[in-house]
Each structure stands twice: as C-alpha cells, then as structure tokens.
Amino acid sequence: MKAVIFANGEVCASDLKRDFKDAELLIAADGGYRHFQSLETLPDLLIGDLDSTPKEVQVSWEKRGVTIIRHPEDKDQTDLELALLYADKRGAAQILVYGAVGGRLDMTLSNLLLLAHPEISADLTFLCGDQEVKLIPRGQSLTIQGKPGDRVSLIPLGPGTSGISTVNLKYPLDQDELAFGLTRGISNVMDADHAEISLEEGLLALIHTHTNSKEKNSHV
C-alpha cells in the first residue's frame, strides 16, 4: 500500500500539481490540512493535536467522511510522527511525505530525523519539488533513478558511518567513511541515469536533487 502524508511545512508549487490517485491512504498531519485544501482533495485521515486545524474544517471534514484522530496537545510525538506510525501500522509499504521542511528549524530537523525511526519499516521518502530525501541503513544499498547531472548528497546521521561505496557518481567512494559533522558528501553528481550507494555501517541520509543535465554542479 502507498500512503501520502502532508505535514505543516512548506510545499513546493509543483507538489500541488501532482496526481495522488494511485495512493491508497492520504493523511493530513494537523496543519497539513491546508495543503489538501489547495489540492481540493479530501484526505482519508486527519491526525494530531489539531491545534493548527480550524474547528470548522474539522467539523466539515468529519461530516464528509474523513477519519479524525485527535491527540492531546501535551504529547511526546509530533503530528508527523503520529501520522507516520499510523501509516506504517496500517501496512503501508511506501510512504511519501510532503511539507516536512521549512518554517521552524527545530521541526525541520526533527522531521528529517524521522527517516531513522526504529518503529517504521515502510520505504520512507520526503519530497519537496525536485528534491527527495531517503535513508540508507547499515548493510543495505539503494539505487536511484535520474539523469546525468543530478545532484546527490550523502550525509551521515551519526559517527561510525563507513563502508560507503558508490556507482555512477562523479566523485566515487569505495569502502570509504564519511565523518559525522563534516561536509565531504555534499554535492556529488550522477554520471548516468541511475546510481547506487551501499553502506556497511551507520546511517546515511541521501538527498537527490533532480536537475537539468546542462546545469553546472559544484562539489564544495
């Protein structure tokens, strides 16, 4: 099952032109309700403490068949974490998240770190326009599809991120280590229409930016 979640962050204009008809579960994480209104689409579920969702929207949506799960304001999870856990428990194999970045820096950082949530087994991707963020856990590899010139950044999410190897990236890694807190893995470039990154130890965030192949990419 494919689930799509809209959180309360910024959403690129191109994301609001996407067709979500192939998603079997649409979730608004509290303030993410506003993006569904822009899409002129009803979600299947509205979840969170609902401090960002107007009462009139809650009432209207409930009358129109939207399931609403209200949590107390004094809670240990963010609204997005609650939405992710719900989708995973419902059996979603793939979860796409929009609106996870922008606005408050603490929320953006904590949202991105949800990629490493130990209780979420679904294939999780955060998206904003031409950017996709995924996680590569230890002992696994990831193949991404794109085109030459696409930018790929690899960011370790903790110390001990090692045994990193890449295929079809301009600046190759071969059983290398990326040190936590340093920027060596930023702004690599795809040399083909696909690339593969494998990891032996640690956690690695991958940010894939789809760009025009003629665009100049710098390795800083």
Residues 30-89: tens digit of each pLDDT: 999 999 999 999 999 999 999 999 999 999 999 999 999 999 988 989 999 999 999 999
The class that CATH gives domain 2-129 is alpha beta
Give span(s): CATH 3.40.50.10240, the chain: 2-129, 134-209
Q: Which residue has the higher pLDDT, 215 or 132?
A: 132
> Per-residue pLDDT averaged across 102-118, rounded?
88
- Check pLDDT > 60 for residue 1: yes
Q: List the beta bridge partners of residue 10.
A: 101
Quick one: pLDDT band at residue 201, thresholds 50, 70, 90?
A: very high
Quote the pTM value. 0.90
Looking at the predicted structure, is the pLDDT value of residue 213 above 80?
A: no
Domain 134-209 fold is Rossmann fold (3.40.50)
